Amino acid sequence: MQLRTGIPLLSELDAHLSSDEYRRHVEFNRSFQEKNEAAMSQYGKLWAKDTFRLWSRRWEYPFVTQRVIQFAEKQGDGPLRVLDAGSGVTYFPYFLRAEVPRSEITCFDSNSTYHPMFAAVNQTMVEQKVKFVEGWLQKLPFEDDSFDAVCCISVLEHTSNYGEILDEFARVLRRGGLLVITFDLSLDGKFELAKEHASELLGQLGRKFNPAAGIDLQKELSRMDQPEKEKILTTDHIRETQPDLLPWKHPTLKAVHDLVKGHGWTGGFRSKSVYCVDVTAK
């Protein structure tokens, strides 16, 4: 099934979870986790050991993969140069390498501790090795037109200068290159990205890149105003149905942290949805 641009509906998620495409992700990730237990345990001390099990990533990773595969099918036979921006250490770039064997993937992140993790994983994933480069998204250490595609999964909501980052993506992408982005939406407005900030981000995307024909990025954002009526994927729904998929395992500590940071008493829970979009470079 085609995973739609914008905010996923619960009905769409249910259909996706029963698809062969999703099962391929599940099986690959299971094998990846088994082969790389030590490296992923180290990563789990920083983030989640298995990010594919987080509430929204079951949609985000397949969305991005699907868009890159569809883009690759329309290109020539040469290498497909892909940047995984703010990559962390996950199964995703290795799965993409398996699905698009001619892809050359560079994972990019600011955390220097990822070097040995990628080195260890590359030893087990010999057929799908990827490159890791350390640095900051606001100043990518790559030449202009270095990539055919850039993927950025759940990163921009953690920054306040996404305009600079989008400029860098535009610079390193060749003309007509693909940019696929996902980001969290704060339904209660206490965290990032609140609607006004998400609207600004989408506005910048529309000005700096070419959205797909017929896609109204701002109209899709209005679904977050009435999440229950629109029946969109939210952490509120996940809390009621599959709370083990939420990342907040120590709610009291999280709640105290939020209170200190001026967000009020949250109970350690954040009401969120997610937005997924692909555009092309001008």
Note the Cα 175 to chain centre separation in Å.
22
Residue at 250 is within a domain:
no
pLDDT value for 264 = 86
Please list the pLDDT of the chain residue by residue as tens digits (282 residues).
Answer: 999 999 999 999 999 999 999 999 999 999 999 999 999 999 999 999 999 999 999 999 999 999 999 999 999 889 999 999 999 999 999 999 999 999 999 999 999 999 999 999 999 999 999 999 999 999 999 999 999 999 999 999 998 789 999 999 999 999 999 999 999 999 999 999 999 999 999 999 999 999 988 889 999 999 999 999 999 999 999 999 999 999 988 888 887 777 777 888 888 899 999 999 999 999
Domains of the chain: total: 1
Which residues are CB-contacts of 148 (< 8 A; sequence separation ≥ 6)? 71, 75, 80, 81, 82, 173, 174, 177, 178
What residue type is 14 in one-letter code? Answer: D
Whole-structure pTM value:
0.97
Residue at 247 is within a domain:
no
Strand 272-281 relative to strand 131-134: parallel, antiparallel, unpaired?
unpaired
Residue at 2 is within a domain:
no
Residue at 23 is within a domain:
yes
The CATH number that applies at residue 183 is 3.40.50.150
Residue at 257 is within a domain:
no
Distances from the Cα of 160 to the Cα of 62, 197, 200, 270, angstroms: 26, 9, 12, 19
Distance CA 56, CA 269 (A): 15
The parent domain of residue 61 ranges over 10-242+274-281
Q: pLDDT for 187-204, tens place per residue?
A: 999 999 999 999 999 999
Residue at 59 is within a domain:
yes
Strand 173-186 relative to strand 272-281: parallel, antiparallel, unpaired?
antiparallel
Residue at 169 is within a domain:
yes
* Range 178-198 burial, b when 16+ CB lie within 10 A, else e: bbbbbbbbbbeeebbbbeebb
End-to-end CA distance of the chain: 28
Burial class (CB in 10 A: 0-12, 13-18, 19+), 256: middle
Q: How many CA atoms lie within 13 A of 69 on its CB side?
A: 18
Distance CA 49, CA 38 (A): 10
Distance CA 120, CA 243 (A): 31
Residue at 264 is within a domain:
no
